[in-house]
Amino acid sequence: AKDQGRNRFNYFTPSMQEYAKYRMRLIHDLRQAVLNKEFELHYQPIVTMATGEVLKAEALLRWFHPERGSVSPAEFIPVAEDTGLIVEIGNWVFEQAARQSAQWRKTLGVEIQISVNKSPIQFRDEGALLHNWLELLQQLDVTGAGVCVEITEGLLLDASMGVTEKLLAYRDAGVQVSLDDFGTGYSSLAYLKKFDIDYLKIDQSFTRNIDTDENDHTLCEAIIVMAHKLGMKVIAEGVETEAQRQVLLRAGCDYGQGYLFSKPVSASEFASKYLLT
Ligand code: C2E
Ligand code: CA
Ligand code: CA
Ligand code: CA
């Protein structure tokens, strides 16, 4: 056992050093990315399940680093959160999404609701920014259907976040709220009635096998019935096949998002594919 312990130690030390170095570089590059404007938003359509109509989109952050190439948000968002850089990045994301929504309305005459992701840390630290954003929305005349904020379940359980006040401020400004990755976090069923949530997004771990796994099917059906009874609409994430879409449609799911409809695309591709037709 002692030997094993030593081997493990020997095995992990270099890789931990590697990891620390890798992280330091990533943090450095991420700081540069903010300054050099290496970020871009891509948009993934959220379609009406029954008709395929595109009235919503989720904004997903893309980072194009000159040497790294495209870096996945799954890789850099956690680091941005740890370092606090997420606040500045998130500010950019919100503003960009609001401007895009306003621009599409003005130039194309279409109202597309754009959802932005908000990690718990962003939500906690947004304080004064929240006021600026709501002002920006007023300036841009983006209200009602224009923007939506995606938050996760864990947030609703944390009393220190000022969730109630912030969600009310969003609501006053006409910003809608989605509960992202539903079913993967802490169970928050009691909180669904406490907060005014507009959309519940069923995580793709539930939709993945919905057409073959009886339990997943049952769970999705139950989630949809519950959400509707509580006055929420349901968006299924990760819809990849027509078979999945059929099952979800029969279960009464309102909206779908996933590769079956489209992967996330650039703003110009989104406009030419979904808004100019
Ligand atoms: P998420 O909010 O759950 O976003 C959905 C993710 O699923 C996206 O990955 C999307 O590209 C991917 N996806 C969409 N349809 C399908 C499908 O049919 N099959 C599969 N397998 N995947 C699908 P992406 O863009 O890599 O983003 C990963 C995560 O990074 C997001 O998960 C979100 O938590 C986070 N993220 C992205 N942009 C932002 C941002 O601006 N701010 C914050 N705080 N987080 C962000
Ligand atoms: Ca999301
Ligand atoms: Ca999600
Ligand atoms: Ca509601």
Q: Which atom of ligand 1 lies closest to the CA of 119?
A: 44
Between CA 52 and CA 258 the distance in angstroms is: 12
Q: Which residue CA neighbors atom 42 of ligand 1 most closely?
A: 117
Could you tell me what percent of the chain has a pLDDT over 70? 94
CB atoms within 10 A of CB 164: 13
Report the predicted TM-score, pTM, of the whole model to 2 decimal places. Answer: 0.93
CA 182 / ligand 3 centre spacing (Å): 8
Mapping DSSP onto H, E and C, the string for 31-53 reads HHHHHHCCEEEEEEEEEECCCCC
Q: Which residue CA neighbors atom 34 of ligand 1 most closely?
A: 117
For the chain, report the end-to-end CA distance as a whole number of angstroms: 67
Give the pLDDT score at 2.
44
Between CA 110 and CA 234 the distance in angstroms is: 22
pLDDT tens for 183-233 read 887 766 888 888 889 999 999 999 999 999 999 999 999 999 999 999 999
Q: Best substitution site from 70, 89, 117 to test ligand 1's pocket, by max atoms within 8 Å of Cβ?
A: 117
Beta-bridged to residue 152, according to DSSP, are 180
pLDDT at 3 exceeding the cut of 80: no
